[in-house]
Amino acid sequence: MLDTTEFLSDFGIRSVSKIYEEHPYSYWLNGSDYSVKYIPAESDTGMFGGNSNWRGPIWMPLNYLLVESIKHFHEYYTDDFRVEYPTGSNDYFSLNEIADLLSKRMKNLFLKNDKGERAAFGGYPKLNHDEHFKDYILFYEYFNGDNGKGLGASHQTGWTALIALL
């Protein structure tokens, strides 16, 4: 989960490992080949209603539940238990610190970067820089697993509003 070549994105935890982008998971059933591949944004199949919010992008409810679960594990394991984050970095943190670091990644969907742009706005100049739009943040249904661009409905203030708790 904490490996940047698999689930860890700059914007949270992906729903499907990035490994499946080049190496889809496949299986045969009753003479048919079925596969699941990582797609960072919209799906290329009609499965799950035609969008891929179950199949790879960043989905706020999943990420929120992971952060909260990691915090609960920290209550048991305390600061003595440390985990490499990200995987392969040789940097070790307590579970509470990892929960905070994951929260920061999710907040990066909405916070401005050094160019004054929000990842959720997907590089659109009008949304990022126009004085009439730049401070009106949309709570998208889900987010691109690679660049954080908001996808799906832009009025989903329900589950994406979980970011306020982080």
Q: Identify the band that residue 86 occupies on the pLDDT scale cut at 50, 70 and 90.
A: very high
Which candidate, 126, 151, 133, places its Cα nearest to that of 141? 151
For the CA atoms of 77, 85, 2, 61, the dihedral, rounded to the nearest 10 degrees, stands at: 70
Q: ω before 86 within 30° of 0 (cis)? A: yes
* Secondary element (H or E) of residue 80: none
Alpha helices in 8-48 (DSSP H): 19-22
What is the rounded CA–CA span in Å between residue 20 and residue 5? 10
Residue 151 pLDDT greater than 80, yes or no: yes
Task: Please state, rounded to an integer, the average pLDDT across all residues of the chain.
Answer: 91
**Average pLDDT for 126-138:** 95
Residue 2 pLDDT greater than 60, yes or no: yes
